[in-house]
Chains A and B, each alone.
Chain A
Amino acid sequence: MKPPFDDHVSTFPAVQERPATPSAPRRMTLNMGPQHPSTHGVLRIVIELEGETIVRAEPDIGFLHTGIEKQCEAINWQQVVTLTDRVDYLANLSNNLVYALTVEKLLQLEIPPAAQWMRVMMAELSRLNSHLVWLGTHALDIGAMSMFFYCFREREDVLRLFEMFSGQRMMTSYIRIGGLALEPPRGWQNAVGKFIGGFPSKVDEYEELLDSNPIWKARTQGVGFISLEDMLDLGVTGPMIRAAGLPLDIRKTEPYSSYDKFDFKVATRTENDVYARYRVRLDEMRQSARIITQALEGMPNGPWQADAPHVVLPDREKMKTQMEALIYHFKIVTEGFRVPAGEVYQAIESPRGEIAYYIVSNGTARPYRVHMRTPSFGNLQALPALLEGTLIADSIASLGSMDFVLGDTDR
């Protein structure tokens, strides 16, 4: 029978039943980054979700690639130091140090003890700098906002010290081939002593602030597990692997720059979660403070640059009064110095893990090849193993706990 309506009204039967829900939950692909604030740089992660569970996570890197390794081949040996600052901008002194150590190994240069101790002190200060930035931003990601202000307050003190030593807050280029860039400034003992004297109590303060926060504990404990075998297989180093109970620390296993003369412990934990990584970094800050105090108290006297006039720029006064010094100055500045042909792989412990430079020289004044084995690149490769199978809500806590720097990853 024709319904009592006009002809233009559709007569198709209307849906009378609720559509059946698909039995399997729908998969959703979520693009995170490269502008996501919690990725600490320009990292893009393509996440595939099933409900709230991550089934696949694919990191996409390279947005910050600046061709530093290629640049190194076009400039003189001593000019590369400024580029190494820009690789890992939170641990620039570690990068200066590993580059200087590698080239010095090729040159077979002996570094005076005062310079070695000063290098250790600067490297540890930069570890404090890096861990403070990590702690502040990681707590901010998880929602503990006030931590950020406290950590950056102390970080500012570290940066002021860097400025006092080198004239620069971040891109210090303070550690050079053959020693240090500048003579330590007058009154540096007081400045460092004042900072480091009050620092351990600040770490206690952070610990109390976070550990008495049940939200912090709930969001970090038992989150972000990755097995030790996976970490070794995927090339993870640094606090991540130490939080899984393996005391892998190059400062202890292959001491460089007289680290063997300092008394410190390798911080480890066994829980292997975000909380353990936080505790490892806190302990490392305490140990770094110990090392800096020892360096301050036992700083040897003597020159802060190696006795190698063909490599190290002469003293300004000598350059103006002595013919020999003027010639060396002119030669180093215009042509640079030659490094004997050979290849060296030197690894050190940066705040993020193993940073190593593989440098090949063909006997000229420019590096033939500089390969930077950066810890963030190695660690980031474990991101899928860390995230897959976990909840999306935990992903920020997990990936924040890796503490990567994208400049370090992409170079």
Chain B
Amino acid sequence: MNHPAIVETISALGETTLIADPARIADLCRYLKDSEKFVRLGSVTAVDWYPAEPRFAVVYHLHSIERNQRLRVKCRLSGTDPEIDSVTGVWRSANWYEREVFDMFGIGFRNHPNLIRILMPLDWEGYPLRKDYPTHGYKYSYSGESTVTDR
């Protein structure tokens, strides 16, 4: 695998990880699908490394049936205004996975056809899987106003 967007290749625990340049992720994915036969996109997810910077890692898991091989592609994104190109143009299955990442982490995907929340209600505030979001959410006081605790 040789593509200018690949910054680093890591092998650990029998799995291969490519660290990629987030600005050229769509280009890299197109190359991996067409030339390296990774026809399936297993999932797209993210990891929040708060308070480290770059804060987010967007993780793609690819699967090649022909080569019987799996591959992880990872892009590191800054915590302020995280945004990356959508890969829905390469694999249509990225659609819901990217919506889920947007819903849970607040990471934007440029050129996504329908970037709205998918699991949480549409009017939800905050991004639940961020590390600065509380596990035990909101505590309601009896005087009427709701206060956020444990944040």
A247 to B80, CA, bound (A): 44
Interface majority SS on A: helix, strand, loop or mixed? mixed
A227 to B61, CA, bound (A): 23
For A67, list chain B residues within 8 Å (CB). 128
| Nearest CB in chain A to that of B68: its residue | A253
Q: Which of A166-190 contact B (CB under 8 A)?
A: none
For A62, list chain B residues within 8 Å (CB). 117-121
Which of B1-9, B22-30, B34-42, B139-147 forms part of the interface with chain A?
A: B34-42
For B96, list chain A residues within 8 Å (CB). 377, 381
Does A344 interact with chain B (Cβ within 8 Å)?
yes
A70 x B135 contact (CB < 8 A): yes
For A248, list chain B residues within 8 Å (CB). 65
B43 x A371 contact (CB < 8 A): yes
Nearest CB of B to A64, in Å? 9
B47 x A356 contact (CB < 8 A): no
Nearest CB of A to B45, in Å? 4
For B70, list chain A residues within 8 Å (CB). 345, 347
| Nearest CB in chain A to that of B94: its residue | A235
| Total chain A interface residues with beta-carbon distance under 8 A | 38
Nearest CB of B to A330, in Å? 26
Does B13 interact with chain A (Cβ within 8 Å)?
yes
A354 to B62, CA, bound (A): 13
Over the window 189-207 of chain A, the binary record of Cβ atoms lying under 8 Å from chain B Cβ atoms (1 yes, 0 no) is 0000000000000000000
A381 x B120 contact (CB < 8 A): no
CB within 8 Å for A381 and B72 given contacts A232-B39, A342-B13, A358-B61: no
Other-chain contact of B13, A105, A368, A377 (Cβ < 8 Å): A105
Over the window 369-388 of chain A, the binary record of Cβ atoms lying under 8 Å from chain B Cβ atoms (1 yes, 0 no) is 10101000110010000000
| Nearest CB in chain A to that of B40: its residue | A232
For B39, list chain A residues within 8 Å (CB). 232
A71 to B135, CA, bound (A): 7
Contact residues of A with B, CB < 8 Å? 61-62, 65, 67, 69-71, 73-74, 105-106, 108, 232-235, 246, 248, 253-254, 342-345, 347, 354, 356, 358, 360, 368-369, 371, 373, 377-378, 381, 410-411
**6 A-B contact pairs sorted by A residue (CB < 8 Å):** A61-B118, A62-B120, A67-B128, A232-B40, A373-B61, A378-B93
Contact residues of B with A, CB < 8 Å? 12-15, 17, 39-43, 45, 47-48, 59, 61, 65, 68, 70, 72, 91-93, 95-96, 104, 117-121, 128-129, 133, 135
